[in-house]
Amino acid sequence: MNTRITSPDGTPASRFAFGTMQFGGAADEAASRAMYDACLEAGITHFDTAHLYTEGAAETLLGRFAAPHRDRLVIATKAGYAGGAGRDNILSQFDTSRRRLCMDHVEILYLHRFDPETPLQETIETFAELKSRGQIGHVGLSNFAAWQVMKAGCIGARFDLSISILQPMYSLLKRQAEVEILPMAAAEGMVVAGYSPLAGGLLTGKYARGETGRLTGNERYAIRYGQDWMTKAAGALVEIAQDLGTDPATLAVAWAARHPAGPVPLISGRSASQIAPSLAALDFHMDDALYARLAALTPAPPPATDRTEEA
């Protein structure tokens, strides 16, 4: 049975989610508010943030913007990126997040990344405690391998706790999730909210136009998307978008949503104008032929088994 995530008044989580990583950082309060309003207008009900983002400004701004609409929104935050996944750190960071958000409860709390130094049972038991208090509705895992997810699920079963949602990287240039994460999620009824569907902006074509962004200002992103074939694929996507009379960002986000497992693209940006093409993907119809044409621009990851003759 597929997990159904809803807001306090029962409004379903939207097909796309919006990530607030730029709130209070690259996007000042006015730009952040404009993006939030544009998302509401487009029908977005699922907003994602984290304890780590912009030293708390992202959670604070999201809480302020969301207050008048709280009952119809799905709010997700994350803990444990820094300081480990031990009980004390998770509880402390989540308490801070709730104060910033001015919310007693969030629909989703993610563990932001796997912590090999902390017994997973301690972490999952802490999440179960938060759920029993009524402070979280669903448990999420971000940046986890499939085996780590299933291990967490097995431990969670001891506490009558399930893993509802995953947050892996997923785009036309980063397709590793297709090997095990997406099939596993489909089989187990988990939602997948794939982040960076625009590959740090590379799939928008902006760097070829001489514009700046994460790839020019962040060494990690420059390394992550620094292979020549990625630049070539991005250029080919721009050409296809021009032929179709649409924006490459619209194609990239629509492609990320089109996988049979039904992932939820986690879109983001620095301004309302920048996120408009991503929001346009909500209404873009991508048929099988176009999906396959775009998929052919990049190498599919190898299967999970060496028995490729049976794949």
CATH number of the domain residue 80 falls in: 3.20.20.100
* Domain membership of residue 90 as a residue range: 17-167
* Sequence-ordered list of residues with C-beta below 8 angstroms from that of 139, at least 6 positions apart, any chain: 108, 109, 110, 111, 124, 127, 131, 156, 161, 162, 163, 164, 165
Per-residue confidence (pLDDT) for residue 217, from 0 to 100: 80
Which residue, 275, 264, 195, 266, is CA-closest to 35?
275
Q: Is residue 140 part of a domain?
A: yes
Per-residue confidence (pLDDT) for residue 152, from 0 to 100: 98
> Full-prediction pTM beyond 0.85?
yes
Q: Is residue 311 part of a domain?
A: no
Q: Is residue 127 part of a domain?
A: yes
Q: Give the SS3 label for residue 47.
A: strand
Q: Is residue 35 part of a domain?
A: yes
Yes or no: say if 163 and 152 are a contact pair by the CB < 8 Å rule: yes
> Which residues of the chain, if any, have pLDDT below 70?
1, 311
Residue bearing tokens 């060496």: 306
Per-residue confidence (pLDDT) for residue 218, from 0 to 100: 84
Q: Is residue 117 part of a domain?
A: yes
Per-residue confidence (pLDDT) for residue 311, from 0 to 100: 63
Q: Is residue 297 part of a domain?
A: no
Yes or no: say if 77 and 110 are a contact pair by the CB < 8 Å rule: yes
Q: Is residue 153 part of a domain?
A: yes
Yes or no: say if 21 and 266 are a contact pair by the CB < 8 Å rule: no
Q: Is residue 304 part of a domain?
A: no
Between CA 214 and CA 278, with CA 224 as vertex, the angle to 5 degrees is: 50
- State how many domains the chain has: 1
